[in-house]
Amino acid sequence: MLDALFNPKSVAIIGASTKELSIGNRIIKNLVDFGYKGPIYPINPKADEVRGIKAYNSILDVTDEIDLVHIVIPNKFVPMVVEDCGKKQAKTIIINSAGFKETGDEGAQLEKEVVEKAKEYGIRVFGPNCQGIINTDSEVRAYANFTFTKPETGGISIIAQSGGVGEVINQRFSELGVGIRMYASNGNACDISIPEIIGYWGDDDQTKVIVVHIENLPDPKEFMEVAKEIAAKKPILAMKTGRTKEGAKAVSSHTGGLSKVDVATELIFKKCGIVTFRDEEELCQAAVAFATQPIPKGKKVGLITNTGGPAIIATDEFVEAGLEIPPLSDKAKGILKEHLHAAASINNPIDVLATGGAEHFRTAVDVLMNEPQIDSIFINFVTPFFVDTDSIAGEIAEVNKSQKKPIICNLMTDKGQWTETINILKNAGVPYYSFPETAARALVAMTRYNDLKVREIGDITAFDDVDKEKATGILQNAKNAGREFLSAEDVNNLLASYNIPVAKWRIAENCGEAVKAAREIGFPAVVKLDAESVVHKSDVGGIALNLTEDDFQSAVEDMEKKFATENPRFFVQEFLSGGKETIIGAKAEPGLGHLILFGIGGIFVEILEDVAFGVTPITQFEAKEMLSSIKSHQLLTGFRGEKGVNQEKLVEILQRVSQLVTDLPIIQEMDLNPVIAYEDKASVVDARIKI
Ligand code: ADP
Ligand code: MG
């Protein structure tokens, strides 16, 4: 329960300075100016009053109960006043002061001390190094924050890790004339976390949409649990910044190197049903629509326009995003033909013409509302001087009351002149935009939310034909031997223990053994260098492919000579001809599990970068989605006479890899590259596992 934070009955400010340009002073001004409903208690031992409000020596001198305390004093004094807050039995503190975890080890230690002290007294901590909260509720009016934007009341709640980003978003809604419900920016988040806040807003009826900005997910599992539950109830729109930092963390093998963007967070968002954005403006514009409009039940858009070009632009946006513009029923066309101008276009988009008036728009909107195969309504509305645009807006506002299907409006007008038209839409809660693209993208985002909500990702398949004990033993032995990468022998045995198909193989200590092994496997055969020091074999000439019985021995002898100093063994393998090379990989993500990768493999994998990711454990549906989401998906399905591959088999391998790394989290990275896929089967011919 975060009531004491968002709905405080009283607020004290420790560090309530008399200086106008100080944070402690500013918070008091903000609370007063915003019309805070409860008493304010400035704490300042050197002043009798601050901003005309009686000040106290210590929080312990206040007789009233205190719900919320701002702490705005230098970091080193914070633990001491937290002690006072504890004695006073204050419920929640917002530590605005900086100088904690964000500054390094010493600050982190101080932060820990604060958290421990607060816990001792049962106080919740928000921050430190943060702005605070805003609640626009008319019963509360809490502006417990030191920034400047004074939002109107509305249905959007914003949580931003970064105060700067939060303020930008808050400011943008103000400029757009759109109100917000609550706001929070919790900085270091030492106690009250973003998931907890999302959970609180999930239960707040007045919050219609939650906007989230994060830089990192300290506890991805906690986030997923909460966000999944809330996103099923109300839309969460999120943006993760610091995406490319992952690139710097690129590791030696492919999966790490290929996840240059922070795919993990975006995958988590998707798994939870959160709509993801990469642009703050687009996020804000979408939130405006989410705040007042019902969610479309499908992808089919009906358009109404009174001008040509912008409808085309919007149509392009919709189609590119996978939405549909279906034709209208004969019944609908009949009604339109009867009521619109003779020259009007009665298909989808419906063009009511620039001379179309209120009754024409009304007919068109009613028709779309009643068309069963239309899920959402997009209105392109330019304001010609020769029609009564106020009446048109009035009709749109009237139909909007039913909240049956979302209505999004692209309003092309002079905002200084057509103020009444704008006000009618605004007061009715019909979102209106200045560009067809912006408006269309807002509707696309709403449709995306619905897609995420209704999609069934299925359950995790638990393969029971696996030998977990054997796999654990292999990994434990390798660890005890101090290995970072498993030997070829261990890798192949490990995969086999999870029934992941591998090409026939033998290990040979010398040339004679290699020849014998190749005879057992059959020709043509393959020989590869097996040395702990070599990670990428083909880079150093440690591979000989497609060898006949005649060539085999000399190939091994050449390798023996070339790598004499590496103390090599030989990995002899059956040669698999034809087939398509794919890559399957896994990489551990702290606090989350593993990322799973699928893509077109072989030696071009880094160039093509045609890969898709998933978060463990993956379901069959998710594995299939990974296959179908790569650009070269047609290589798998077959095209122009080329045969496709057995996708079910690849899906199964992906799921088995997911189970393997989930069962054995000691695996840091795993690269099966290539997995050669055929019409009937798939086999791993090269694998690398890092522990
Ligand atoms: P590395 O990745 O260490 O360079 P690989 O074992 O993946 O070595 O071999 C490099 C390439 O050789 C593979 O991408 C594949 O094209 C080919 N190759 C390797 N083993 C086989 C095999 N058994 N059958 C057919 N082609 C193979
Ligand atoms: Mg390879």
| CATH classification of the domain holding 118 | 3.40.50.720
Pocket test for ligand 1, best of 532, 545, 584 (most atoms within 8 A of CB): 545
Q: Please indicate, yes or no, whether residues 281 and 179 belong to a single structural domain of this protein.
A: yes
At 1 the pLDDT is 83
Q: Please indicate, yes or no, whether residues 82 and 216 belong to a single structural domain of this protein.
A: no
Q: Render pLDDT for 239-252 as a digit per residue (tens, 0 to 9).
A: 987 765 443 343 23
Residue 79 and residue 114 in contact, taking contact as beta carbons nearer than 8 Å = yes
At 266 the pLDDT is 84
- Whether 142 maps to a domain, the answer reads no
At 262 the pLDDT is 67
- Whether 138 maps to a domain, the answer reads no
Which sign, positive or negative, has the C-alpha torsion 366, 370, 374, 376?
A: positive
- Whether 135 maps to a domain, the answer reads no
Ligand 1 centre distance from Cα of residue 250 (Å):
23
The protein residue with its alpha carbon nearest to ligand 1, atom 23, reads: 575
- φ and ψ of 159, to 5 deg: -120, 125
Hey, which residues does 156 pair with through a beta bridge? 180, 209
Ligand 1 centre distance from Cα of residue 544 (Å):
9
- Give the DSSP H or E segment for 544: strand 543-547
Pocket test for ligand 1, best of 504, 540, 581, 685 (most atoms within 8 A of CB): 685
Q: Please indicate, yes or no, whether residues 239 and 283 belong to a single structural domain of this protein.
A: yes
Beta strand pairing status for 682-684 and 611-615?
Answer: unpaired
What does each C-alpha distance from 473 to 36, 416, 477, 478, 496 come to in angstroms? Answer: 64, 75, 6, 9, 14
What is the total count of domains within the chain?
5
Question: Which ligand is located closest to the Cα atom of residue 604?
Answer: 1
pLDDT category of residue 603 using cuts at 50, 70 and 90: low
Whether 510 has a pLDDT exceeding 60, the answer reads yes
At 250 the pLDDT is 32
At 249 the pLDDT is 41
- Token readout for 556 is 């091994």
Which domain does 498 fall in, by range? 457-503+576-691
At 205 the pLDDT is 97
Q: Please indicate, yes or no, whether residues 13 and 157 belong to a single structural domain of this protein.
A: no
At 687 the pLDDT is 94
Beta strand pairing status for 687-690 and 669-677?
Answer: antiparallel
- Whether 134 maps to a domain, the answer reads no
Ligand 2 centre distance from Cα of residue 631 (Å):
21
- Whether 514 maps to a domain, the answer reads yes
Whether 164 has a pLDDT exceeding 80, the answer reads yes
Ligand 2 centre distance from Cα of residue 526 (Å):
13
Q: Please indicate, yes or no, whether residues 10 and 29 belong to a single structural domain of this protein.
A: yes
Name all residues whose Cβ lies below 6 A of ligand 1: 503, 526, 528, 536-538, 543, 545, 573, 575-576, 581, 602-603, 673-674, 685-686
- Whether 139 maps to a domain, the answer reads no
Ligand 1 centre distance from Cα of residue 264 (Å):
29
The domain boundary residue, chosen from 575, 610, 631: 575
Ligand 2 centre distance from Cα of residue 23 (Å):
58
Q: Please indicate, yes or no, whether residues 113 and 156 belong to a single structural domain of this protein.
A: no
Q: Please indicate, yes or no, whether residues 447 and 479 belong to a single structural domain of this protein.
A: no
The domain boundary residue, chosen from 544, 575, 606: 575
Neighbours of 278 (CB within 10 A): 12
The domain boundary residue, chosen from 552, 575, 598: 575
- Give the DSSP H or E segment for 378: strand 376-382
Which of ligand 1's atoms lies nearest the C-alpha of 528? 6
Question: Which ligand is located closest to the Cα atom of residue 684?
Answer: 1
Ligand 2 centre distance from Cα of residue 486 (Å):
14
Residue 585 and residue 671 in contact, taking contact as beta carbons nearer than 8 Å = yes
At 248 the pLDDT is 30
The protein residue with its alpha carbon nearest to ligand 1, atom 19, reads: 685
At 254 the pLDDT is 39
Q: Render pLDDT for 300-339 as a digit per residue (tens, 0 to 9).
A: 999 999 998 999 999 999 999 999 999 999 999 999 999 9
Average pLDDT of the chain is 93
Mean pLDDT of 648-666: 96
Q: Considering the entire predicted model, what is its pTM?
A: 0.86
At 610 the pLDDT is 84
Mean pLDDT of 502-520: 94
Distance CA 151, CA 543 (A): 66
Which of ligand 1's atoms lies nearest the C-alpha of 526? 23
Ligand 2 centre distance from Cα of residue 673 (Å):
4
Q: Please indicate, yes or no, whether residues 299 and 283 belong to a single structural domain of this protein.
A: no
Q: Please indicate, yes or no, whether residues 447 and 532 belong to a single structural domain of this protein.
A: no
- Whether 231 maps to a domain, the answer reads yes
Residue 190 and residue 114 in contact, taking contact as beta carbons nearer than 8 Å = yes
Distance CA 38, CA 557 (A): 87
Q: Please indicate, yes or no, whether residues 557 and 585 belong to a single structural domain of this protein.
A: no
Q: Please indicate, yes or no, whether residues 18 and 56 belong to a single structural domain of this protein.
A: yes
- Whether 303 maps to a domain, the answer reads yes
CATH number of the domain where residue 438 is located: 3.40.50.261
Q: Please indicate, yes or no, whether residues 497 and 538 belong to a single structural domain of this protein.
A: no
Which of ligand 1's atoms lies nearest the C-alpha of 674? 14
At 244 the pLDDT is 59
Pocket test for ligand 1, best of 608, 686, 690 (most atoms within 8 A of CB): 686
Q: Render pLDDT for 374-424 as a digit per residue (tens, 0 to 9).
A: 999 999 999 999 999 999 999 999 999 999 999 999 999 999 999 999 999
Q: What angle do CA 79, 80, 83 make, to 5 degrees?
A: 90
Q: Given 3-state DSSP classes, what are the helix, strand and coil percentages for the chain, each rounded to the nearest 5?
A: 40, 20, 35
CATH number of the domain where residue 534 is located: 3.30.1490.20
CATH number of the domain where residue 479 is located: 3.30.470.20
